[in-house]
Amino acid sequence: MRAFESVHPAAAFAYFISVLLVAMFTAHPVLLCEALLGAVLFCAILSAKGFWKNMASYVPLFAIIALSNPLFSHNGVTMLFFLNGNPVTLEAVLYGADIAVMLIAVIYWFQCYSFVMTSDKFLYLFGKAIPKLSLVLSMALRFIPLFKAQLIRVNRAQKAMGLYSGKSFTDKLRSAGRVLLALITWSLENAVETGDSMRARGYGLHGRSHFALFRFTGRDGVLLGISAALTGLTLTGRALGGADFAFYPRITGISTAPLSLAVYLAFGALTLLPFIIETEESLKWTYFVSKI
């Protein structure tokens, strides 16, 4: 288990909400680059294999988003060239790249969230307050990896039965339809079984006791306090204009005022917090192993 995975669910959930709150509602390139860097480093530590596998799909996604914006938006004053009679501006190109960085950073952070905030942690946090909604959200977040694993198993079974032997487009389409039908049936059965199992255990009943292995320690309090302080500094600096940036009609310069630098440092430290924690634990582990 990674160090951040052992953090109390309340502290971990508050951290992810803090990072996503800033990353999803800003267009400042410095803040978005910090969000992407922190997410990439954290995701690479949590799952190196999955990180490189997803990177192959995120690179073309970045290119598609970055290049599609100039095709639909022609705002800006810095003309680059004309495409089919429509102007392509530098501001539109850079804004498309900025939006692509934001989207990929948020995707990476949600991927890290799925690794750390498992279904049992989510139910621990919200099972008492909103039992039905928390169960549905927990099942939905857990459904994607289960769906992908079941897709691989069904594909292998279909190939073993020889159902993919045909090379025509019609045979491939029929095979894909059989796989989709099997996955839909499996997902519905899995949802019903999960609901019946939770109902049999008395989930959501008034007065039902709860057992959890999570304990809020001093380390969790420090993490929660640091996250709150850095998030507060970032949001306060943004509210005071320390992270103002505009692409249209002309790209504004990146501010290097003391307030702006404080915002960059605060959010950068916030995004790198999991990487710092994991690196510290790794160095401790290496040191203790060397003493054996």
* C-alpha span between 181 and 173 (Å, rounded): 12
Give the residue among 152, 143, 96, 95 at the shortest CA–CA distance from 119.
143
* C-alpha span between 32 and 157 (Å, rounded): 43
* C-alpha span between 130 and 227 (Å, rounded): 25
Give every residue of the chain whose pLDDT is below 70, as ranges: 1, 48-51, 127-142, 144, 162-169, 201-212
pLDDT of residue 266: 94
pLDDT digits 0-9 by tens, 192-241: 777 777 777 666 666 666 656 778 888 889 999 999 999 999 999 999 98
pLDDT digits 0-9 by tens, 241-252: 888 888 888 888
Tokens 């710092």 belong to: 276
Look up residue 254 and give its DSSP letter.
P
- CA distances to 140, 203, 208 from 135, in Å: 9, 9, 15
Element (H, E) at 150: helix 131-160
Domain range annotation of the chain: 4-125+218-290
